[in-house]
């Protein structure tokens, strides 16, 4: 701060010295002209005084000739001086014009707004940047004070800073809001410097304002992203552990139901436990979707077909008092995403729209192709990749939202509904699914004018994958295969092995990838299927599959997890032909998935160690 003040004082001293030198040189020139004029006058007078030693005739003749010659010399001398004087004046004026032009170029082309005000706050000068930044013409500001466009909540703080500068002669940097001509507010960073009179009093203030609205918006976006990431990591970790516990609860509940039957007194209680476990499982899936840590099964999809298939269900959910319309582009490109998750996005957005229209209204679902070019990217305050996208827009005629609400709508557990009317995870789930699918989501809304959610999903040129047939379960007596179960959670591993043994399988178990490698080395017989968790301490499930596939190429594989974890990556997904069992799972889902995998192609053909991982395909 002291260095800055010293530079300012030094600059003012240099400028003052330059103008004093220019003024001094002009006074010297004009003084010289006066002196030369006096010399000429005295010369002429000297020619008119006669010499006492000359005759009258000689005197008159010499006087005439001398007068003429003297006058000629004096006139020439005066002309030379006048030319010299004019050249000096022209040079000084040219220097002043050049300096004035330089300062004009600086003030007119500076991105910052420069203003000069007097001690009372009246504007003396405003740079043209006011027109480009705030939309005001210079004539709009001429008869206004420096405080009229400042936000009412910030005026006292700005006045305090101005008074401090007037008293001490040293300004400080502050931030405040100033009204744009269109009525919006811009955030400015302002610095004031005092111009002192010869008596040391502050005569004027030079104010430099910089528009930092976009910077503040980016900083807010960054802080929001950090907060969402932190909450996502927390919720993902909790959901992972909770999924394992739910798997144990749901599994043993099914075993008890099977043993006790439906006529026992506790049958209804067991059924309620089973239902509660499934509801809790749905909640954890939403948490994982928000945290972008769920495992996806992406396939090439026709978005229009997905919308058409779910349209009837959506009509039943939103009710008869809401008119649902679809505007689907017939030339719409294809996307690569998890079909179930896209259906979840549509469901959540439509339910959110329904709740925003308690008295009925209109709900529209629209699709079209969209090219995200450089100009479109600049319209967003967060990083967006250019390229080809499919744009899905879900708009309603509901109550709308203000900007304060829009800033929080994608946060988990944030809701504007009454207590007990919502979990606050609907839009957070949408946000997580869209981001994990490589897309972007934006919302446009105003109070009383409804809301429009715009989802941009990357467009792909791949062909649609044909769904593979799902194997039907066969009686347990036909199940004689050997299955290796790899799960680091002991209680869930014990339950899974118990279920598989009840289904007739020969079961081997391991609590880690290293232990599974040892079991495989010690076993001389065949392992027909590997059922492995993905996220485990040390070696993860993928690495285990790669190593075992070398020595057991005919072994089938089923992955199980509800959480990708940070070691795999938040955008983890599986190849379309991979077998995956989401946690928590029921006994029926486990049995069907195993039979499906055992009756399909070998693991080397469906997901070989040499093929690129899904994460590499997404790069």
Same domain, 497 and 534: yes
Question: In the predicted model, is pLDDT for residue 54 greater than 70?
Answer: no
Q: How far apart are CA 398 and CA 407, in angstroms?
A: 18
Residues 6 or more apart whose Cβ sits within 8 Å of residue 170? 5, 194
Name the band, by pLDDT with cuts 50, 70 and 90, for residue 603.
very low
Question: In the predicted model, is pLDDT for residue 13 greater than 80?
Answer: no
Name the band, by pLDDT with cuts 50, 70 and 90, for residue 607.
very low
Question: In the predicted model, is pLDDT for residue 147 greater than 70?
Answer: yes
Tokens of 345: 């996005």
Average confidence (pLDDT) over 536-564: 84
Average confidence (pLDDT) over 580-591: 84
Question: In the predicted model, is pLDDT for residue 16 greater than 60?
Answer: no
Strand partners, 533: 560
Which of 70, 90, 108 is the C-terminal boundary of a domain?
108
Same domain, 515 and 389: no
* Contact by Cβ (8 Å): 557, 603: yes
Question: In the predicted model, is pLDDT for residue 392 greater than 90?
Answer: yes
Domain with 353 in it: what CATH number? 3.30.565.10
Q: Reduced to 3 DSSP states, what percent helix, strand and coil does the chain have, rounded to the nearest 5?
A: 50, 20, 30
Q: How far apart are CA 190 and CA 114, in angstroms?
A: 10
- Residue range(s) defining the domain that contains residue 149: 113-211
pLDDT, tens only, 423-457: 567 788 788 888 878 888 888 888 888 999 999 99
Least reliable range by pLDDT among 14-23, 208-217, 223-232, 521-530: 14-23
Least reliable range by pLDDT among 178-182, 259-263, 543-547, 605-609: 605-609
Asked, for residue 273, whether it belongs to a domain, the answer is: no
Asked, for residue 451, whether it belongs to a domain, the answer is: yes
CA distances from 452 to 287, 313, 344, 389 (A): 24, 21, 17, 18
Question: In the predicted model, is pLDDT for residue 30 greater than 50?
Answer: yes
Question: In the predicted model, is pLDDT for residue 202 greater than 90?
Answer: no
Asked if omega into 454 is within 30° of 0 (cis), the reply is no
Where b means 16+ CB within 10 Å and e means fewer, 75-88 reads eeeeeebeeebeee
Same domain, 29 and 134: no
Domain with 185 in it: what CATH number? 3.30.450.20
Asked, for residue 47, whether it belongs to a domain, the answer is: yes
Name the band, by pLDDT with cuts 50, 70 and 90, for residue 5.
very low
Calculate what percentage of the chain has a pLDDT beyond 90.
12
Average confidence (pLDDT) over 209-237: 73
Average confidence (pLDDT) over 585-603: 78
Calculate what percentage of the chain has a pLDDT beyond 70.
71
Question: Tokens 């969209």 — which residue?
Answer: 370
Region of residue 483 (left: phi > 0; alpha: psi -120 to 50; beta: else): beta
CA 447 to chain centre: 24
Q: How far apart are CA 90 and CA 96, in angstroms?
A: 10
Q: What is the DSSP letter of 357?
A: -
Predicted pLDDT at 595: 86
Asked, for residue 121, whether it belongs to a domain, the answer is: yes
Same domain, 123 and 75: no
Predicted pLDDT at 575: 47
Q: How far apart are CA 484 and CA 512, in angstroms?
A: 12
Name the band, by pLDDT with cuts 50, 70 and 90, for residue 531.
very high
Predicted pLDDT at 128: 79
Average pLDDT, the chain: 76
Predicted pLDDT at 417: 64
Predicted pLDDT at 49: 54
Name the band, by pLDDT with cuts 50, 70 and 90, for residue 479.
low
Asked, for residue 574, whether it belongs to a domain, the answer is: yes
Same domain, 322 and 447: yes
Which of 211, 228, 251 is the C-terminal boundary of a domain?
211
Same domain, 82 and 47: yes
Average confidence (pLDDT) over 581-604: 77
Asked, for residue 153, whether it belongs to a domain, the answer is: yes
Predicted pLDDT at 1: 40
Question: Tokens 């959540």 — which residue?
Answer: 348
Question: In the predicted model, is pLDDT for residue 288 greater than 80?
Answer: no
Least reliable range by pLDDT among 90-94, 131-135, 600-604: 600-604
Q: Where is 115: in which H helix or E strand?
A: strand 113-118
Same domain, 317 and 459: yes
CA 588 to chain centre: 44
233 against 192, higher pLDDT? 192
Q: Let me know the angle formed at the C-alpha of 69 by 66 and 70, rounded to the nearest 5 degrees.
A: 80
Asked, for residue 247, whether it belongs to a domain, the answer is: no
- How does DSSP assign 19-58, residue by residue? HHHHHHHHHHHHHHHHHHHHHHHHHHHHHTSPPTTS-HHH
Count the Cβ atoms, other than its own, within 10 Å of residue 407: 14
Predicted pLDDT at 130: 78
Same domain, 13 and 91: yes
Q: How far apart are CA 574 and CA 556, in angstroms?
A: 16
Predicted pLDDT at 263: 67
Number of folded domains that form the chain: 4
Name the band, by pLDDT with cuts 50, 70 and 90, for residue 530.
very high
500 against 270, higher pLDDT? 500
Tokens of 160: 């305090």
The beta-strand segments (E) located in 309-467 are 322-327, 334-337, 361-372, 387-396, 440-445, 451-460
Name the band, by pLDDT with cuts 50, 70 and 90, for residue 519.
very high
Same domain, 122 and 30: no
pLDDT, tens only, 57-102: 555 555 566 666 666 676 667 767 777 777 777 788 788 878 878 8
Q: How far apart are CA 114 and CA 565, in angstroms?
A: 52
The beta-strand segments (E) located in 308-450 are 322-327, 334-337, 361-372, 387-396, 440-445
DSSP β-ladder status, 451-460 and 334-337:
antiparallel
Predicted pLDDT at 339: 83
Question: Tokens 């979707």 — which residue?
Answer: 289
Most confident range (mean pLDDT) of 81-90, 218-227, 255-264, 590-599 is: 590-599
Tokens of 222: 């960054």
Which of 108, 123, 157 is the C-terminal boundary of a domain?
108
Q: How far apart are CA 75 and CA 40, in angstroms?
A: 8
Strand partners, 445: 451
* Contact by Cβ (8 Å): 519, 497: no
Least reliable range by pLDDT among 103-112, 325-334, 506-515: 103-112
* Contact by Cβ (8 Å): 391, 369: yes
Predicted pLDDT at 366: 94
Predicted pLDDT at 566: 38
Predicted pLDDT at 165: 81
Same domain, 320 and 436: yes
Q: How far apart are the first and last CA of the chain?
A: 48
Q: Where is 233: in which H helix or E strand?
A: helix 213-260
DSSP β-ladder status, 529-533 and 556-561:
parallel
Count the Cβ atoms, other than its own, within 10 Å of residue 219: 11
* Contact by Cβ (8 Å): 557, 597: yes
Q: How many residues does the chain have?
A: 619
Nearest to 433 by CA among 460, 414, 455: 455
Alpha helix ranges (H) inside 48-148: 56-109, 129-134, 138-141
pLDDT, tens only, 343-364: 888 988 998 888 889 888 999 9
388 against 467, higher pLDDT? 388
Average confidence (pLDDT) over 21-45: 66
Same domain, 84 and 198: no
Predicted pLDDT at 126: 79
Average confidence (pLDDT) over 11-37: 61
Asked, for residue 295, whether it belongs to a domain, the answer is: no
Strand partners, 581: 560
Predicted pLDDT at 79: 67
Name the band, by pLDDT with cuts 50, 70 and 90, for residue 465.
low
* Contact by Cβ (8 Å): 207, 115: yes
Question: In the predicted model, is pLDDT for residue 151 greater than 50?
Answer: yes
Q: How far apart are CA 362 and CA 353, in angstroms?
A: 9
Question: In the predicted model, is pLDDT for residue 606 greater than 80?
Answer: no
Predicted pLDDT at 9: 41
Same domain, 388 and 503: no
């Amino acid at each position: 701060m002291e260095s800055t003040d010293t530079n300012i004082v030094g600059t003012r001293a240099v400028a003052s010295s330059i103008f004093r030198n220019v003024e001094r040189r002009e006074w010297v020139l004009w003084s010289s002209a006066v002196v030369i004029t006096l010399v000429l006058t005295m010369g002429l007078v000297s020619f008119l005084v006669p010499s006492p030693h000359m005759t009258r005739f000689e005197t008159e003749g010499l006087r005439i000739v001398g007068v003429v010659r003297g006058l000629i010399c004096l006139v020439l001398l005066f002309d030379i001086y006048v030319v010299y004087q004019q050249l000096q004046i022209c040079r000084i004026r040219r220097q002043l014009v050049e300096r004035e032009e330089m300062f004009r170029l600086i003030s007119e082309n500076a991105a910052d707004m420069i203003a000069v005000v007097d001690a009372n706050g009246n504007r003396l000068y405003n740079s043209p940047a006011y027109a480009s930044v705030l939309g005001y013409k210079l004539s709009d500001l001429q008869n206004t004070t420096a405080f009229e466009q400042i936000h009412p909540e910030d005026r006292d703080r700005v006045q305090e800073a101005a008074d401090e500068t007037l008293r001490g002669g040293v300004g400080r940097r502050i931030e405040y809001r100033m009204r744009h001509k269109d009525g919006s507010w811009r955030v400015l960073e302002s610095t004031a410097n005092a111009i002192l009179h010869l008596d040391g009093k502050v005569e004027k203030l030079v104010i430099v304002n910089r528009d930092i609205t976009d910077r503040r918006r980016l900083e807010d976006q960054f802080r929001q992203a950090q907060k969402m990431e932190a909450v996502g990591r927390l919720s993902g970790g909790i959901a992972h552990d909770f999924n394992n516990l739910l798997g144990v609860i749901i599994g043993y509940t099914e075993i008890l139901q099977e043993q006790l039957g439906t006529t026992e007194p506790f049958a209804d209680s067991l059924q309620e436990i089973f239902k509660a476990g499934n509801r809790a499982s749905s909640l954890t899936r939403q948490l994982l979707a928000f945290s972008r840590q769920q495992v996806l099964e992406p396939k090439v999809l026709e978005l229009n077909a997905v919308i058409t298939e779910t349209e009837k269900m959506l009509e039943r959910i939103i009710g008869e008092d809401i008119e649902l319309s679809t505007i689907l582009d017939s030339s719409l490109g294809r996307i690569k995403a998890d079909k179930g998750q896209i259906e979840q996005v549509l469901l959540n957005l439509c339910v959110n729209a329904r709740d925003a229209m308690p008295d009925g209204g209109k709900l529209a679902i629209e699709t079209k192709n969209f090219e995200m070019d450089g100009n479109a990217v600049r319209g967003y305050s967060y990083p967006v990749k250019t390229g080809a996208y499919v744009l899905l827009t879900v708009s309603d005629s509901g109550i709308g939202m203000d900007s304060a609400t829009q800033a929080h709508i994608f946060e988990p557990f944030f809701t504007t509904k009454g207590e007990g009317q919502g979990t606050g995870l609907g839009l957070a789930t949408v946000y997580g699914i869209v981001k994990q699918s490589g897309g972007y989501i934006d919302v446009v809304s105003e109070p009383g004018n409804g809301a429009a959610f715009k989802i941009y999903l990357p467009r792909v040129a791949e062909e649609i994958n044909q769904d593979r047939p799902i194997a039907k379960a066969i009686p347990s007596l036909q199940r004689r295969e050997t299955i290796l179960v790899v799960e680091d959670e002991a209680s869930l591993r014990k339950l899974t092995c118990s279920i598989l043994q009840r289904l007739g399988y020969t079961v081997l178990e391991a609590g880690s990838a290293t232990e599974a490698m040892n079991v495989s080395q010690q076993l001389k017989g065949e392992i027909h299927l590997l059922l492995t968790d993905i996220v485990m301490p040390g070696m993860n499930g993928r690495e285990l599959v790669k190593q075992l596939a070398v020595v057991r190429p005919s072994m089938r594989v089923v992955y199980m997890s509800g959480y990708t974890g940070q070691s795999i990556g938040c955008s983890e997904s599986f190849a379309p032909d991979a077998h995956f069992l989401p946690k928590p799972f029921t006994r029926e889902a486990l049995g069907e998935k195993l039979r499906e995998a055992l009756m399909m192609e070998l693991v080397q053909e469906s997901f070989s160690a040499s093929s690129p991982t899904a994460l590499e395909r997404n790069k």
